[in-house]
Amino acid sequence: MSPIRNMLVDVIDSLPEQEQLLLFEIAKRFLPDDAATEDDLKAIAAARDEYERGATVDHDKINWD
């Protein structure tokens, strides 16, 4: 862990739980709304693999009715 991360952990651990909750809500505001989750990244990797293997269905072959 980086030194700054260690310092942040120490500060957070020293706060009462209610203040930790407040700090958590503040910290979440720094995260982008469209950040990919671990599941998203796995699904994207699987889709790319399927595409490379040709295991996808051509758009024109789908009956959209």
Q: Which two tokens stand for residue 31?
A: 């995260």
Q: Is residue 4's pLDDT more than 90? A: yes
Q: Which two tokens stand for residue 18?
A: 């209610």
Per-residue confidence (pLDDT) for residue 22, from 0 to 100: 95
The count of domains in the chain is: 1
Determine, yes or no, domain membership for 37.
Answer: yes
Residue for token pair 């700090």: 23
Per-residue confidence (pLDDT) for residue 65, from 0 to 100: 87
Range of the structural domain that residue 30 is part of: 3-56
Is the pTM higher than 0.85?
Answer: no
Determine, yes or no, domain membership for 39.
Answer: yes
Determine, yes or no, domain membership for 65.
Answer: no
Determine, yes or no, domain membership for 64.
Answer: no
**What does the pLDDT look like over 30-58, one tens digit per residue?**
988 887 889 999 999 999 999 999 998 88
Residue 12: count of CB within 10 angstroms of its CB: 13
Determine, yes or no, domain membership for 49.
Answer: yes
Among candidate residues 1, 16, 54, the one with its CA nearest the CA of residue 24: 16
